[in-house]
């Protein structure tokens, strides 16, 4: 009797559960088929994006979303362009706010979606109904194309290679897995190291190619390939002139990039790395160079030991086969955004797990390394992974950085003390930061860096914007700064007094700092929080000075070239700040020229 009663209860429970799921299923089904309803008109709403508020204008009729337009924003050109175009279009096409974000532009994508939700709610829209995801099922055919040179990756190295190959008479196709071009270059600090007497001598700076070579070689603990380093430093300025011939503009003021060791950093007129990308794309758009975004390379085509093309995946899952008459250039970047790969190769740092953010674009996942290793390419220096002490504590990004050069800042820990020379090598500064409370520092500067409210950092952000967004703390006295940062005032004052005394004496800094150009003693004071972030992976494909890829038997892989962060051997154990832009330009240009002249058998 008792057993039968239990069975009845189980049966009743199962029946009620089945009814519940049935009701829920009906509810979802009803949501999917219920027609949208709005109060016709045009509505505007705003949401917080990466660089401040973003405003949309949404037009609706009785039953549909007619248009979504971003009418105001402060997002970075090129970086956010794909999101600004694709997200509003997807909302209108699917009649839903449950649309995919654009990789590499997460903040912009989410801001568009959130602002659109607010506007649609004001129009009387049912948010539950609008949140039903609707797939776009457009069928796309497989593609096969042929060009002289196929470039894989549309960051700075890839675009340099594409332009160079084109200028040397080759037909070129560039593929990029992300929705827009630019890679790490477009979000970089953008300083470009080159010995440049024309700009340096008027500033009283004595420099030489030999000094640049020595600092690069010794700064990488003599682990870099001397021939590659020599190629880099000797061609850095000619490559800069080549960039200028494409329309790239630099100021005449040279800086010492963080970890750059010397004032040979050329600062672009345009913010971030947008000037580089604009210069390349202006050429590409005016010439017969094809760029295919949202096209992910998956494997190299190899015939009789010769690389003859690439097989890729298109945006809609279609197969893309690209045949090369002359060669393939890999410019896919490093693996700074691949946590698993970072952990696999890390031999130096306490941890590089997901708690350590990265400055890298999300596309830096080591794809090119994996593809090339599958055709027997040799990898060198993979354990050499560079970190910076300059990442946003929440995102790892370099944006929001309050300092604009090594000469103008000091690093203060949570106890109010300096702890390292701010002009040291990047690995030295970062290892020192690992030992500080919460791996946290305050970058402190004064009003000499920002003489007006509209003065900007290297990321085109004004000091007013940085303060309003809470990224930077402003104080009208040192006491107020200590209070706002929750630091012992006595320690902060003593730290700055000692530093300022070293500037006055032009020596004697307690941490051995050599760049002692600017005191920090004039209110208002500013401070920005910074932490450890993965910045550059120095290891990668072994190449020669012609940018040809070398296999595990020390032989050239016919038809395969590489440039930029996908390669190894240029920087040794530590990359000097400002050398990356020179590296990708010099070797991108070399790879493009040599691939254009190469004829496959």
Give the residue numbers marked as catalytic: 426
Give the Cβ contact number of residue 101 at 10 Å. 17
Integer Cα distance of 302 and 207 in angstroms: 45
- Chain-centroid distance of CA 157 in Å reads 14
* CB 506, CB 518: distance < 8 Å: no
Cα dihedral value 3, 4, 6, 9, nearest 10: 180
Angle between helices 226-245 and 209-219 (to 10 degrees): 130
Show the tokens assigned to 558: 């016919």
Integer Cα distance of 91 and 98 in angstroms: 8
Show the tokens assigned to 283: 């050429």
Integer Cα distance of 486 and 473 in angstroms: 12
8-state DSSP, 563 = -
Strand 525-537, strand 357-358: pairing:
parallel
User: If 0-12 CB within 10 Å is exposed, 13-18 middle and 19+ buried, where does residue 69 land?
Assistant: middle
8-state DSSP, 134 = -
What stretch of H or E contains 548?
Answer: strand 548-550
* CB 374, CB 513: distance < 8 Å: no
- Give the position of tokens 């509209």: 454
Give the Cβ contact number of residue 343 at 10 Å. 14
Integer Cα distance of 290 and 150 in angstroms: 10
Integer Cα distance of 420 and 72 in angstroms: 42
Q: Which DSSP string corresponds to 291-311?
A: EE-S-EEEEEEEETTEEEEEE
φ/ψ of 67, rounded to 5, equals -160, 150
* CB 389, CB 433: distance < 8 Å: yes
Give the Cβ contact number of residue 121 at 10 Å. 14
| Short-list 442, 540, 436, CA closest to 484 | 442
Angle at 365 between CA 364 and CA 370, to 5 degrees: 125
Count, in order, helices (H) and strands (E) of the chain. 16, 23
* CB 363, CB 331: distance < 8 Å: no
């Amino acid at each position: 009797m008792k057993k039968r009663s239990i069975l009845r209860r189980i049966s009743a429970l199962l029946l009620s559960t089945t009814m519940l799921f049935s009701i829920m299923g009906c509810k979802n089904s009803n949501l999917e088929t219920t027609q949208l309803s709005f109060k016709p008109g045009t509505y505007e709403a705003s949401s917080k994006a990466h660089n401040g508020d973003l405003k949309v204008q949404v037009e609706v009729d009785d039953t549909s979303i007619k248009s979504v337009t971003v009418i105001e924003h402060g997002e970075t050109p090129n970086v956010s362009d794909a999101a600004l175009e694709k997200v509003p279009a997807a909302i209108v096409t699917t009649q839903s706010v449950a649309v995919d974000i654009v990789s590499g532009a997460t903040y912009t994508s989410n801001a568009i979606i959130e602002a659109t939700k607010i506007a649609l709610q004001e129009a009387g829209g049912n948010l539950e109904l609008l949140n039903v995801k609707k797939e776009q099922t457009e069928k796309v055919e497989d593609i096969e194309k042929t060009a002289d040179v196929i470039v894989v990756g549309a960051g700075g190295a890839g675009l340099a290679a594409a332009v160079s190959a084109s200028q040397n008479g080759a037909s070129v196709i560039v593929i990029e897995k992300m929705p827009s071009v630019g890679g790490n270059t477009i979000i970089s600090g953008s300083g470009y190291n080159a010995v440049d007497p024309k700009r340096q001598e008027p500033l009283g700076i004595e420099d030489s190619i030999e000094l640049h070579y020595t600092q690069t070689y010794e700064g990488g603990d003599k682990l870099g390939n001397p021939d590659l380093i020599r190629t880099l430093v000797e061609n850095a300025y000619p490559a800069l002139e080549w960039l200028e011939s494409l329309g790239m503009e630099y100021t005449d003021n040279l800086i010492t990039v963080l970890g750059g060791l010397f004032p040979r950093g050329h600062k672009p007129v345009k913010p971030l790395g947008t000037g580089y990308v604009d210069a390349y794309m202006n050429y590409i758009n005016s010439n017969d160079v094809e760029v295919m975004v949202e096209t992910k390379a998956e494997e190299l085509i190899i015939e009789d030991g010769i690389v003859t093309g690439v097989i890729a995946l298109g945006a809609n899952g279609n197969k893309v086969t690209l045949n090369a008459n002359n060669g393939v250039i890999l410019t896919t970047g490093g693996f700074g955004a691949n946590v698993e790969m970072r952990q696999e190769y890390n031999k130096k740092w306490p941890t590089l797990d997901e708690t350590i953010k990265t400055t890298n674009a999300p596309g830096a996942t080591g794809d090119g390394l994996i593809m090339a290793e599958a055709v027997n390419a040799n990898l060198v220096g993979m354990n050499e992974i560079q970190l910076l002490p300059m990442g946003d504590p929440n995102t790892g990004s370099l944006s929001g950085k309050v300092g604009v050069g090594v000469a103008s800042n000091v690093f203060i820990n949570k106890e109010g003390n300096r702890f390292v020379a701010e002009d040291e090598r990047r690995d030295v500064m970062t290892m020192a930061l690992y030992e500080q409370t919460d791996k946290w520092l305050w970058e402190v500067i004064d009003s000499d860096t920002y003489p007006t409210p509209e003065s900007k950092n290297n990321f085109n952000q004004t000091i007013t914007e940085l303060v309003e967004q809470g990224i930077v703390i402003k104080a009208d006295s040192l006491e107020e700064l200590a209070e706002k940062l929750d630091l012992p005032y006595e320690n902060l004052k003593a730290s700055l007094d000692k530093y300022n005394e070293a500037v006055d004496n032009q020596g004697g800094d307690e941490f051995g700092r050599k760049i002692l150009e600017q005191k920090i003693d004039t209110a208002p004071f500013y401070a920005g929080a910074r932490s450890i972030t993965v910045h550059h992976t120095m290891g990668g494909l072994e190449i020669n000075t012609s940018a040809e890829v070398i296999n595990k038997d020390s032989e050239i892989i016919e038809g395969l070239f590489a440039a930029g962060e996908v390669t190894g051997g240029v920087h040794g154990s530590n990359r000097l700040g400002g050398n990356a832009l020179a590296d990708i330009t010099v070797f991108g240009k070399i790879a493009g020229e040599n691939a254009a002249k190469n004829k496959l058998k």
